[in-house]
């Protein structure tokens, strides 16, 4: 089956600053949350590999951009590392060496015909602000972020036309403070909700600045909603689905798109003593400064059922009080990553946005397949023959394009990732890139089979699709 891809549909790729840059040139005191976590718990990172070296993008960005040009990539999303952008986070003294690096990357991308998309925070909260003010617990940090955003817009807004305030703003506090599975392992559900709220407010303040200054572009946020499916049609399972959606999706969707929080969420937060006590004027900022568009990161579905057991009244409140995870028998798995593979999630998320959020403009800002031990798929010439990745992208793109054909306002697809890069804890264990990076001193780059396939997809604007079980 051949499917036509609209000419205006973006086919790009993504990464982030901390996952590519490495620490070359990083000054004392410029650690991010991720840097600090890596220093505190290096043992949890696969083979001890993490952000210290990453992919050496600081030195080798020119080579990577040449590869983008070779693949005919049209759009590239990355981030500014907030922790490296300043030498003083309160006086807002810019590190001119790092700022010049961002300038150089932007200019090189544009010269190569690649449209830059910049995110202001991709888990790069300065460790100083975490240590001094408890990070996003503090309203003052919201103000500092707002001022940082204004400086970034002023410096790069003449060339960068697509901005994102955050990447996956729910993730850090969910891992650290709700589930307490990552450093600093503090279980504090109220803090989790406070961080959710303050990031929403910080996003609105950045959007306010961007619009008031009249920049010729647009600004949104990259969210990672989970398309959540109930185990069955029973009203109990359906209620579990509704509650998961409320706490993990609508907690950002509603205020960022509609400008208001769901009344049911507010009532539950008050009932369980996790309310974030917003100031009236801050709620007005959120209401008046919603996103222009959205980035959606989408990898796997979430499946839930009604809880089978009574909640322990002595345990801290957790949204799991209202749902239980459901393990679908026979599901297709990426066993390298431990994630279910369900390509129709793209179609269902598109319809969810169309039906609930006014068909807001959006694009997939991350989707991809991580694979362990890709060396096993090298041919005699040393090229990774990643047919599994080609098939994964094809199946997800098929469902996304089907939704577009039916009226979904999705503008494109950004593959995670352009190159292999580190991920939290996973490090280089699973590789996601079109471009392979060796862990040698030169960080040698090479194009995988999928890179040539993606180039053809960009050039020909036709997707060949077969509904077959994935090659795993």
Task: Give the CA distances from residue 14 to residues 68, 73, 120, 167, 310, in Å, rounded to whole numbers and listed in that order.
Answer: 11, 11, 14, 11, 43
Nearest to 456 by CA among 73, 58, 125: 73
Cα gap 231→245, rounded to integer Å? 14
366 catalytic per annotation? yes
Cα gap 425→438, rounded to integer Å? 18
Task: Give the CA distances from residue 79 to residues 166, 204, 415, 422, 434, in Å, rounded to whole numbers and listed in that order.
Answer: 9, 18, 15, 15, 19
97 catalytic per annotation? no
Cα gap 51→16, rounded to integer Å? 11
Q: What is the dihedral of CA 272, 276, 277, 283, to 10 degrees?
A: -130
Rg (the chain; Cα; Å): 21
Q: What is the dihedral of CA 8, 12, 14, 17, to 10 degrees?
A: -90
Catalytic residue among 21, 121, 168, 374: 168
Catalytic residue among 21, 124, 366, 374: 366
**Contacting residues for 426 by C-beta, under 8 A, at least 6 apart:** 46, 370
Provide, for the chain, the percentages of residues in helix, strand and coil under a 3-state DSSP scheme, each rounded to the nearest 5.
Answer: 45, 20, 40
* Per-residue tokens: 424: 């939290």
Give 378's DSSP letter. Answer: B
CB 71, CB 454: distance < 8 Å = yes
* Per-residue tokens: 61: 């960005």
Cα gap 393→232, rounded to integer Å? 29
CB 207, CB 146: distance < 8 Å = no
Tokens 């054909």 belong to residue: 405
If DSSP codes are grouped into helix, strand and coil, which group holds residue 14? strand
Residues with catalytic function? 168, 366
């Amino acid at each position: 089956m051949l499917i036509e891809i609209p000419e205006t549909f973006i086919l790009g790729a993504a990464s982030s600053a901390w996952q590519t840059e490495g620490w070359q040139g990083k000054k004392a005191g410029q650690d991010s949350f991720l840097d600090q976590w890596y220093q505190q718990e290096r043992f949890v990172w696969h083979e001890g590999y993490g952000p210290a070296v990453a992919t050496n993008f600081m030195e080798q960005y020119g080579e990577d951009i040449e590869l983008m040009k070779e693949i005919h990539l049209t759009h590239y999303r990355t981030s500014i590392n907030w922790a490296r952008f300043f030498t003083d986070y309160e006086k807002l003294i810019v590190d001119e060496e790092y700022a010049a690096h961002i300038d150089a990357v932007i200019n090189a991308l544009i010269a190569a015909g690649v449209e830059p998309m910049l995110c202001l925070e991709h888990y790069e909260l300065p460790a100083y602000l975490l240590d001094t003010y408890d990070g996003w617990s503090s309203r003052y940090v919201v103000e500092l972020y707002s001022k940082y955003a204004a400086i970034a817009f002023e410096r790069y807004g003449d060339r960068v036309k697509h901005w994102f305030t955050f990447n996956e703003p729910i993730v850090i506090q969910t891992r650290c403070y709700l589930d307490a599975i990552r450093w600093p392992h503090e279980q504090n559900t109220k803090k989790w909700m406070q961080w959710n709220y303050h990031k929403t407010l910080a996003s609105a303040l950045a959007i306010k600045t961007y619009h008031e200054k009249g920049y010729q572009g647009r600004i949104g946020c990259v969210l990672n909603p989970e398309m959540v499916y109930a185990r069955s049609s029973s009203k109990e399972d359906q209620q579990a689905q509704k509650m998961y959606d409320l706490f993990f999706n609508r907690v950002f969707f509603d205020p960022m798109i509609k400008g208001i929080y769901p009344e049911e969420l507010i009532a539950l937060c008050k009932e369980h003593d996790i309310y974030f006590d917003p100031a009236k004027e801050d709620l007005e900022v959120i209401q008046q400064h919603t996103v222009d568009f959205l980035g959606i990161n989408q990898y796997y579905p979430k499946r839930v059922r009604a809880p089978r057991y009574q909640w322990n009244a002595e345990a801290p409140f957790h949204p799991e009080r209202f749902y239980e995870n459901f393990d679908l028998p026979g599901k297709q798995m990426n066993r390298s990553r431990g994630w279910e593979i369900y390509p129709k999630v793209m179609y269902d998320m598109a319809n969810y946005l169309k039906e609930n959020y006014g068909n807001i403009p959006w694009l997939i800002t991350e989707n991809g397949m991580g694979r362990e031990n890709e060396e096993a798929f090298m041919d005699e010439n040393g090229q990774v023959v990643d047919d599994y990745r080609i098939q994964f992208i094809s199946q997800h793109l098929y469902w996304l394009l089907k939704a577009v054909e039916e009226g979904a306002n999705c503008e494109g697809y950004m593959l995670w990732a352009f190159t292999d890069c580190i991920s939290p804890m996973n490090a280089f264990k699973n590789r996601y890139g079109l471009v392979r990076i060796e862990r040698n001193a030169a960080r040698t780059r090479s194009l995988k089979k999928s890179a040539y396939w993606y180039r053809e997809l960009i050039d020909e604007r036709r997707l060949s699709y077969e509904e077959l079980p994935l090659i795993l």
